[in-house]
């Protein structure tokens, strides 16, 4: 058993912070160390204590004065959209039809899917994201390429072959039966292989017929432990069009509820424009609203009421995500920078502790995976990142006036990006790719 010990300032959350002064919500070791072996965290705490537990001749890496955190988690991304980021469109539906659907058609080709998969993992690890929840394209080839690359990298990833059988180009359509069969095949081939998880992935109600929703319900009943991911209430035109396609539903949320797709493992991308009834239904089901701030701003979709949804009598479980390629950054730091600004526009405050909680333990809890990721607790996966708040000249200059941990985190969020990620450990192995 080869052990690796990394030394630096450790930060890990115990629970969601109640406010900016909630020092009980996290553990912070100013001279800390983390001991890793067999892909798992063996110990963490004060350097002297952890060093005493390590075997003689342990490999020791000194990251001082940098911060050591659990790897970031991104709960909503589109693997086949790396080459549509920054496409100029007026709104969601125009963006999907003009750029995104044509681009996703290319993933029928194995070589293309495999090439983009290499870039995907390079980019996520460069940005310190060690777990992502991804939509592949409708083609099984895309899921195969994604999971094969994940297996190679040793990452814990969640992904699904998208199911869609209408309102898209022919090259992007399956059928209710094909969607069902191919999702089953992806589960058989990849679920539980390495650290891969398969998610049941109906794209959204606009692109699935009621017949496809029924087959999706069958999958959800056969595989109740799997995550389910879809999109909900992102844009007003989308919501209006959806209502015409499912005239018997009370509202958008009711469509997914009707087909048994609303539960504690359901990730609802965006969920910006919810009625009180919908928010109650989502809260009662324990489903998760996934906030994608850079995408919501880029596509002009709306301002997600994160703080208001958390404050409700029936609060919502909330996760955060980039939504590449509607989103405009791979960085979870930049993502929370934009989340902060959205709350500012809504007259709310999002404090830096809360932001860093969301990127790590909060997203792990939203995925029901906090026993494995999002924390530095012994026994969890050794997916760990090292952050440098002095990474650029502008950051170093601002750091001269920073006095507290909260200020340092806020600076990392406001000015940081992939340059602030010194190293990304995947299952204990240094895995940050070199910059291009």
Write out the residues near Zn ion by the rule CB under 5 A: 269, 323
Comparing CB distances to ligand GUN, the nearer of 7 and 161 is 161
Q: How near is the Cβ of 323 to ligand GUN at its closest, in Å?
A: 5
- Name every residue whose Cβ is closer than 8 Å to that of residue 16 and which is 6 or more positions away in sequence: 25, 354, 357, 361, 362
Closest distance of CB 235 from ligand GUN, Å = 8
Q: How far apart are CA 186 and CA 37, in angstroms?
A: 30
Name, in order, each residue with C-beta under 8 angstroms of 56's C-beta and a sequence gap of 6 or more. Answer: none
CB of 273 to ligand GUN, least distance (A): 13
Q: For residue 166, give both structure tokens.
A: 């209408």
Q: How far is the CB of 78 from Zn ion (least distance, A)?
A: 6
Q: Taking the CB of residue 294, how many other CB atoms lie within 10 A of it? A: 25
By beta-carbon proximity to Zn ion, the closer residue of 43 and 96 is 96
Among Zn ion, ligand GUN, none, partner that 358 touches (CB below 5 to 8 angstroms by kind): none
Report, in Å, the least distance between residue 171 CB and ligand GUN.
16
Q: In what order do the strands lie in the sheet with 26-37?
A: 40-46, 26-37, 4-13, 59-70, 384-387, 421-426, 429-430
- Cα separation, 240 vs 355, whole angstroms: 32
Q: Which is nearer to Zn ion, 271 or 333 (CB)?
A: 271
Write the Ramachandran bin of 135: left for phi over 0, alpha for psi from -120 to 50, otherwise beta: beta
Q: Which is nearer to ligand GUN, 234 or 365 (CB)?
A: 234
Nearer to ligand GUN, 91 or 414 (CB): 91
Residue whose CB is less far from ligand GUN, 92 or 415: 92
**Alpha-carbon span 253 to 262, nearest angstrom:** 8
> Residue 321 or 427: which CB sits closer to Zn ion?
321
Q: Which is nearer to ligand GUN, 137 or 196 (CB)?
A: 137
Distance of closest approach, residue 101 Cβ to ligand GUN, in angstroms: 9
Cα distance between residue 343 and residue 3, in whole Å:
43
Q: What CA–CA distance (Å, rounded) separates 297 from 334?
A: 13
Residues 6+ apart with CB under 8 A from 383: 70, 71, 130, 131, 155, 156, 373, 425, 426, 427
Give the C-alpha separation, 292 to 274, whole Å. Answer: 15
d(CA 387, CA 369): 23
Q: Which does 195 bind (CB under 5 to 8 A by kind): Zn ion, ligand GUN, none?
A: none
Binding site for ligand GUN (CB under 6 A): 78, 92, 96, 100, 203-204, 231, 234, 295, 323, 326
DSSP 8-class letter at 248: T
> Strand pairing of 429-430 and 162-163?
unpaired
Select from ligand GUN, Zn ion, none the partner in contact with residue 92, using the beta carbon and a kind-dependent cut-off of 5 to 8 Å: ligand GUN
Specify the residue, 269 or 428, whose C-beta has the smaller distance to Zn ion. 269
Q: Where are the beta strands (DSSP E) in 203-282?
A: 227-232, 266-270
In whole angstroms, how close is the CB of 228 to Zn ion at the nearest point? 14
End-to-end CA distance of the chain: 34
Nearer to ligand GUN, 67 or 96 (CB): 96
Q: Which residue is nearest to Zn ion (CB)?
A: 269
9 touches which of Zn ion, ligand GUN, none (CB within 5 to 8 A by kind)? none
| Among Zn ion, ligand GUN, none, residue 203 binds (CB under 5-8 Å by kind) | ligand GUN
Q: Which does 372 bind (CB under 5 to 8 A by kind): ligand GUN, Zn ion, none?
A: none
Query: In the complex, what is the shortest distance from the CB of residue 203 to ligand GUN, in angstroms, rounded to a whole number?
Result: 5
Nearer to Zn ion, 323 or 423 (CB): 323
> What's the min distance (Å) between Cβ of 206 and ligand GUN?
7
Residue nearest to ligand GUN (CB): 326
If contact means CB under 5 to 8 A according to the sort of partner, which of Zn ion, ligand GUN, none does residue 32 touch? none
370 binds, among Zn ion, ligand GUN, none (CB under 5 to 8 A by kind): none
Nearest CA to 408 out of 378, 386, 385, 387 is that of 387
Instruction: List residues bridging with 386 in a β-sheet.
Output: 68, 423
Q: What is the DSSP letter of 428?
A: T
Closest to 256 measured CA to CA, from 233, 225, 223, 275: 233
Closest approach, Cβ 333 to ligand GUN, in A, equals 20
Q: Where are the alpha helices (DSSP H) in 246-331?
A: 252-258, 276-285, 293-298, 306-311
Q: How far is the CB of 80 from Zn ion (least distance, A)?
A: 11
204 binds, among ligand GUN, Zn ion, none (CB under 5 to 8 A by kind): ligand GUN
């Amino acid at each position: 058993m080869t052990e690796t010990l990394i030394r630096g300032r450790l930060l890990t959350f115990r629970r969601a912070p109640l406010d900016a002064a909630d020092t009980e919500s996290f553990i912070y070791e100013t001279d800390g160390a983390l001991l890793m072996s067999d892909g798992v965290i063996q110990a963490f705490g004060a350097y002297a204590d952890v060093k005493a537990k390590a075997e003689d001749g342990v490999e020791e890496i000194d990251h001082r004065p940098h911060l050591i955190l659990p790897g970031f988690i991104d709960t909503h991304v589109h693997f086949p959209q790396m080459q549509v980021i920054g496409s100029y469109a007026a709104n969601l539906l125009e963006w999907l039809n003009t750029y995104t659907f044509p681009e996703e058609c290319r993933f029928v080709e194995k070589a293309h899917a495999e090439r983009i998969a290499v870039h995907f993992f390079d980019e996520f690890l460069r940005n310190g994201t060690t777990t992502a929840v991804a939509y592949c394209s409708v083609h099984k080839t895309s899921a195969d390429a994604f999971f094969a690359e994940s297996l190679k990298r040793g990452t814990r990833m969640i992904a699904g072959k998208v199911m869609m059988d209408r309102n898209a180009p022919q090259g992007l359509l399956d059928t209710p039966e094909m969607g069902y069969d191919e999702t089953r095949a992806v589960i058989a081939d990849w679920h539980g292989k390495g650290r891969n998880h398969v998610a049941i992935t109906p794209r959204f109600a606009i692109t699935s017929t009621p017949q496809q929703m029924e087959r999706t319900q069958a999958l959800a009943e056969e595989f109740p432990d799997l995550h389910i991911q879809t999109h909900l209430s992102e844009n007003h035109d989308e919501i209006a069009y959806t209502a015409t396609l499912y005239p018997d539903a009370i509202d958008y949320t009711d469509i997914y509820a009707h087909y048994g797709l609303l539960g504690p493992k359901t990730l609802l991308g965006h969920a910006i424009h919810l009625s009180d009834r919908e928010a109650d239904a989502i809260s009662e089901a324990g489903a998760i609203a996934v906030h994608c701030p850079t995408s919501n701003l880029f596509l002009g979709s709306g301002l997600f009421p994160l703080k208001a949804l958390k404050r409700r009598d029936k609060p919502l479980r909330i996760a955060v995500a980039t939504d590449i390629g509607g989103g405009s950054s791979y960085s979870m730091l930049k993502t929370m920078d934009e989340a902060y600004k959205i709350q500012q526009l809504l007259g709310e405050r999002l404090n830096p502790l809360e932001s860093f909680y969301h990127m790590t333990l909060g997203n792990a809890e939203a995925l029901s995976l906090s026993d494995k990721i999002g924390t530095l607790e012994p026994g969890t996966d050794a997916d760990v990142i090292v952050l440098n708040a002095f990474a650029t000249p502008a950051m170093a200059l601002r750091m001269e006036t920073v006095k507290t941990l909260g200020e340092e985190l806020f600076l990392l969020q406001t000015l940081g990006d992939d340059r602030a990620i010194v190293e990304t450990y995947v299952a204990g192995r240094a895995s940050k790719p070199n910059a291009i």
